[in-house]
Amino acid sequence: MASSAKQIILLVAMAASLFAVTQADTVVVGGSENWRYGYNYTEWAADNAPIYFQDTLVFKYKKSPAHSVYLLPNLYSYLTCDFSKAKLLANSSQGHGDGYAFVINQWRVFYFASAEGNDCEDGLMKLIVVPWPRY
Ligand SMILES: *[C@@H]1O[C@H](CO)[C@@H](O)[C@H](O)[C@H]1NC(C)=O
Ligand SMILES: *[C@@H]1O[C@H](CO)[C@@H](O)[C@H](O)[C@H]1NC(C)=O
């Protein structure tokens, strides 16, 4: 192969990898409201859809009052705020500073919620994320 052709292939490959890197977004959940009691994350998720596969969600919250981030197993546990089979992602001390970062790296529906106090039941601190493919 001519060396100029190799160079072109290399350039295309570099451009493609650069493109792939810049494609993934980092999204702060709740925007400037962060992760707090009383903010409507269902509405926020609708306004900020879609979240793409490989995007990073960042949950930022103060140490007090305490919040957390759990991954719930299904829609029913999400609707009823049942954390018995939930997976702890970030506890009450892991949301300050840069926050807790979670990469949307699976093709599944993600049910997130805070389990502290009445955060999930009354505080609206829950959201559903369905990853979208990038083209
Ligand atoms: C939160 O927002 C959703 C979507 O707009 C809406 O259906 C729901 O009633 C809101 N919840 C409250 C408590 O305002
Ligand atoms: C939260 O998790 C971190 C890291 O696993 C741990 O060091 C810390 O003690 C935990 N804090 C609470 C309040 O459970």
Ranges of residues in the chain with a pLDDT under 50 are 9
Q: Is residue 1 one of the residues assigned to a domain? A: no
pLDDT for 71 equals 98
Strands (E), the chain: 26-28, 56-59, 69-72, 87-90, 100-103, 110-113, 126-129
pLDDT for 23 equals 76
- Ligand 1 atom nearest to CA at 40: 1
Please count the structural domains in the chain. 1
pLDDT for 134 equals 87
The ligand minimizing its distance to the Cα of 122 is 1
- Any idea what the CATH number is for the domain that residue 69 is in? 2.60.40.420
Q: Is residue 102 one of the residues assigned to a domain? A: yes
CA of 7 from ligand 2 middle (Å) equals 50
Q: Is residue 121 one of the residues assigned to a domain? A: yes
Q: Is residue 3 one of the residues assigned to a domain? A: no
Distance CA 59, CA 101 (A): 6
Distance CA 121, CA 113 (A): 10
The boundaries of the domain holding residue 32 are 25-129
Q: Is residue 134 one of the residues assigned to a domain? A: no
pLDDT for 22 equals 57
Q: Residue 7 has what DSSP assignment?
A: H
Q: Is residue 87 one of the residues assigned to a domain? A: yes
- Ligand 1 atom nearest to CA at 124: 13
Q: Is residue 9 one of the residues assigned to a domain? A: no
Do the beta carbons of residue 114 and residue 125 sit within 8 Å? yes
Do the beta carbons of residue 125 and residue 80 sit within 8 Å? no
CA of 94 from ligand 2 middle (Å) equals 7
Which amino acids bring their CB within 6 angstroms of ligand 2? Answer: 91-94
Q: Is residue 6 one of the residues assigned to a domain? A: no
